[in-house]
Structure 1
Amino acid sequence: MQGLHLTADLRGCPPALAVLHEPEALRALCLGAVAAAGLQAVGELFHRFPAPGGVTGVVLLAESHLAVHTWPELGGVTLDVYVCNLHGDNSTRAEGLLAALEQAFGASSAERHRVRRGGPGAA
């Protein structure tokens, strides 16, 4: 049950970016970043909200999950990456996934948090 939970609150993202308001663009970004990080997607759901049209996307991973929430009207994004480390340490993969997503959103600032989960000896 040991794992690593990473979050980032991004501000100053260019509001015209398609990934902020188009579910298919966000889906392509997320699935590409998951694969590039060496993680395995096993399910997904992306939903666009009414005006101003933010998107929430979730990718279920064999290793746990990725969740993304966008607020184009605020130029904001929240990222949530959790990986379990039951059969091996996936921490580097999680960090790579978060970094790739942060870069893609082009934020002017980011507040990051890192939580080791699962008790003593957690990854």
Structure 2
Amino acid sequence: MEALGRQLILEYYGCPAERLNDASFVEEVMVAAAESMGAHIVCVNFHQFNPHGVSGAVVISESHLTIHTWPEYGYAAVDVFTCGTVIDPWEAHAFLKERFGATRESTVEFRRGCFDVAPGTLPSAYGVTREDLDK
């Protein structure tokens, strides 16, 4: 089976509340995570909730990174979805876990858009190379 993309569902526990309740910090970390895995950022949107919590999205050419935080519980729910085989979502996970200061995590990987075809025969989005993305 070939897949169009991979999606990580990440849960971070034990994060310092001040990190998870700072929209500017959360945005900075999410953008840096996208950059750390070589993704191409399309747009960024984050929102600070009252009395606490942050939600946001970093849309990338290769798909997206999203987050919702519960600072009062030291918890962040994160989604990293990448299409193709060039960008590795696990690189973003390692970066995010460290920057958010998680003491515990839960991770699940899903393969999205699975097709029963010969390896390397999916349409263009699957076979994109790093050089193609840099054009």
Give identity over the alignment, percent: 32
Preserved CA contact (<8 Å) 1:69 1:79: yes
Superimposed CA distance per residue, residues 29-73 of structure 1 (whole angstroms, 9 cap, x where no aligned partner): 11122112100110111001111x100010000000000111100
| Residues 1-123 of structure 1: pairs in structure 2 closer than 5 A | 2-17=4-19, 20-51=20-51, 53-85=52-84, 89-92=85-88, 94-120=89-115
Q: Secondary structure at 1:103's aligned position in 2?
A: helix
How far is 1:16 from its partner?
Answer: 2.6
Superimposed CA distance per residue, residues 3-49 of structure 1 (whole angstroms, 9 cap, x where no aligned partner): 000011111112132xx112111111111221121001101110011
The TM-score normalised by the length of structure 1 is: 0.86
Unmatched segments (≥5 aa) in structure 1: none
| Ranges of 4+ aligned residues in structure 1 off by more than 3 Å | none
Larger radius of gyration: 2
Q: Which amino acid aligns with 1:58?
A: A
- Counting matched residue pairs gives 116
Unmatched segments (≥5 aa) in structure 2: 117-121, 127-135
Preserved CA contact (<8 Å) 2:10 2:105: yes
How far is 1:103 from its partner?
Answer: 1.2
Q: Secondary structure at 1:24's aligned position in 2?
A: helix
Preserved CA contact (<8 Å) 2:15 2:103: yes
Preserved CA contact (<8 Å) 2:39 2:87: no
